[in-house]
A and B are shown apart, each in its own frame.
Chain A
Amino acid sequence: MMAEPVVPRPDAPKGSASGNTPLWEVFIRARDGLAHRHVGSVHAADAALALQAARDVYTRRGEGLSLWVVPSGAIVASDPADKAMLFEPTGSKIYRHPTFYEVPDEVGNM
């Protein structure tokens, strides 16, 4: 994994001839049976060029069998400031894990 997806600053011009080429996030399936995984980003004018750029930049050494490119602006993310509110409550819910429950040894694996 490498560069994080981020959309250009709000004041940056987007996609005009004198401005910036849109940003895309790149995901690679390393081999069949695995999920696509985020590897970085590329700039490209459209989806076909984004795929081409992703292929050139991120798969020079047999890194994968399938590529996804997604417009960076299409990603909705949680705010890091909400980390505690969103994720800490699960810390106390230990009864969601199998090890919380006691099963006699003689019953065997369950």
Chain B
Amino acid sequence: MYTQALNTPFGDPEDDDAERTARFQARIDADERIEPNDWMPESYRRTLIRQISQHAHSEIVGMLPEGNWITRAPSLRRKAALLAKVQDEGGHGLYLYAAAETLGVTREELVGQLLTGKAKYSSIFNYPTLSWADIGAIGWLVDGAAIMNQIPLCRCSYGPYARAMIRICKEESFHQRQGYEIMLTLAQGTAAQKAMAQDALDRWWWPSLMMFGPPDSQSQHSDVSLRWRIKRFTNDALRQKFVDATVPQALHLGLAIPDPDLRRNEATGHWAFGAIDWAEFRRVLAGDGPCNRERLATRQRADADGAWVRDAALAWAAKQRARDRQAAA
């Protein structure tokens, strides 16, 4: 546990110390965990703050596309499951903000970066949920891709992030299964229901592959993140793992993956897939996806609408403290 006095301020001149950096790298190479008040290079701290906060923002914004269907879920069972899932995503955001705060930022600063559009979040959440089948596709594909990304993060070199990820991964597995169950039910239903499931797969497949980030040849942060053991696998390796795991699941559903180039390489056992439209990825990330403005506006509205509640709670707490002091005097 840590006290305020122990928090290393930003821009410590010691940070560029080559000897300390070498010792830090040796700890990483020995697979030791770095804890909040241990010395760390400033760039390691900044990298983690960026990654963990973007991850947290993604969980929070990720509540919106699914929240869109809570009131229209087709049964009470589906509705209860979807509510629980969306509530989990909110919880995951909070675990992650708490992990980021151990690096010397406040949650308020991080949320501020989201609300002003300064911070990024996963581009997948800028796509709309047009039908109930999209809830199935999100659970199956989007949570499936997220789990693929997150499992190696459970062994991330930064202790608080790794511990948050362990908890998150434990909770996520229900998300993927409930999504696949929705897809399975639709795929075995009427022709119209099966078409709805196919349409959802058609729209979510490529954005899900983009969730793993740019190809290794273009990824700015991969090398350093691997050296620091923040990441354990490259974007392309994880993407391939996801495709290999997901194609047989689609076959089982009797649905077609919207990629004419998809074929199994008999020699390697891997599924080769077609070219990803990285121009679309960059466009959505830069703010021009179908729902970017709506997502941000919704978060800004939620923050503004909730301000009086936060203010009232703080005012009440201050009043109670004053009363307690008076009573004690």
Interface size on A, residues (CB 8 A): 38
Residue in B1, B105, B107 whose CB lies within 8 Å of A4: B1
CB 8 Å contact bits of B313-327 with A (1 = contact, 0 = none) = 111111010000000
Interface residues in A1-15 (C-beta closer than 8 Å to B): 1-10, 12, 15
How far apart are B19's CB and chain A's nearest CB, in angstroms? 15
B3 near A20 with CB under 8 A, answer no
B35 x A49 contact (CB < 8 A): no
Q: When A9-B7, A60-B91 are in contact, do A46 and B317 touch as well, CB less than 8 Å?
A: yes
Which of chain B's residues 299-316 have a Cβ closer than 8 Å to chain A? 310-311, 313-316
Whether B7 lies near A3 (C-beta < 8 A) is no
Give chain B residues whose Cβ lies under 8 Å from the Cβ of A10. Answer: 4, 7, 9
Partner of B94, one of A57, A75, A76, A80: A57
A residues 23-42 near B (Cβ < 8 Å) are: 23, 25, 38, 40-42
Whether the Cβ atoms of B91 and A57 lie closer than 8 Å is: yes
**Is there an interface contact between A60 and B87, defined as CB atoms closer than 8 Å?**
yes
Q: Contact mask B45-87 → A, CB, 8 Å, 1/0? A: 0000000000000000000000000000000000000001001
Footprint of A on B, CB under 8 Å? 1-4, 6-7, 9, 35-38, 84, 87-88, 91, 94-95, 98-99, 101-102, 104-108, 159-160, 163-164, 166-167, 171, 310-311, 313-318, 320
Q: What is the CB-to-nearest-CB distance from B302 to chain A, in angstroms, rounded to a whole number?
A: 16
Q: Main SS of the interface on chain B?
A: helix
**A47 and B203 alpha carbons, distance in the complex (Å):** 46
Cβ B106 vs Cβ A2 within 8 A: no
- CB of B1 within 8 A of CB of A77, answer yes
Task: Report yes or no: A77 in contact with B2, Cβ–Cβ below 8 A.
Answer: yes
Contact A16 B314 (CB under 8 A): yes
A6 contacts which of B7, B88, B163, B313 (Cβ < 8 Å)? B7
In the bound complex, CA of A41 to CA of B311 (Å) = 20
Q: Does A19 contact B (CB under 8 A)?
A: yes
Given A3-B99, A6-B101, A40-B98, also A45-B316 (CB < 8 A)? yes
Query: Separation in Å of the B322 CB from the closest CB of chain A?
Result: 12
A105 smallest CB distance to B (angstroms):
40
Distance in angstroms from B227 CB to nearest chain A CB is 23
Q: Which of B101, B311, B315 is most buried by chain A, counting CB atoms within 10 A of its CB?
A: B101
**Set of chain A residues within 8 Å of B84, measured between Cβ atoms:** 60
B160: which A residues are within 8 A, CB to CB? 2-4
With A45-B310, A46-B316, A80-B35 in contact, is A6–B108 under 8 Å at CB? Answer: no
Rounded to whole angstroms, the CA-CA distance of A8 and B110 in the bound complex is 12
Task: Judge whether A8 and B106 touch: CB under 8 Å.
Answer: yes
Q: Known: A4-B35, A5-B1, A9-B106. Is A79-B163 also a contact (CB below 8 A)?
A: no
A46–B196 alpha-carbon span in the complex (Å): 48
Minimum CB distance partner of A75 in chain B: B1
Question: Which 10 A-B pairs give the minimum distances between C-beta atoms?
Answer: A3-B98, A45-B313, A46-B317, A2-B163, A7-B4, A45-B317, A77-B1, A6-B102, A4-B102, A4-B160
CA distance A1 to B95 in the complex (A): 11
Contacts of B316 in A (CB 8 A): 45-46
- When distances are taken between beta carbons in the complex, the residues of chain A under 8 Å from B310 are 17, 21, 45
A60 to chain B, nearest CB (A): 7
B6 nearest CB across to chain A (Å) = 6
Cβ proximity bits A54-72 to B, threshold 8 Å, 1 near / 0 not = 0011001100000000000
If A6-B7, A6-B101, A79-B6 are given as contacts, then 4 extra A-B residue pairs at C-beta distance below 8 Å, sorted by A number, are A2-B163, A45-B310, A57-B91, A80-B35
Query: What's the least CB distance linking A22 to chain B, in Å?
Result: 8
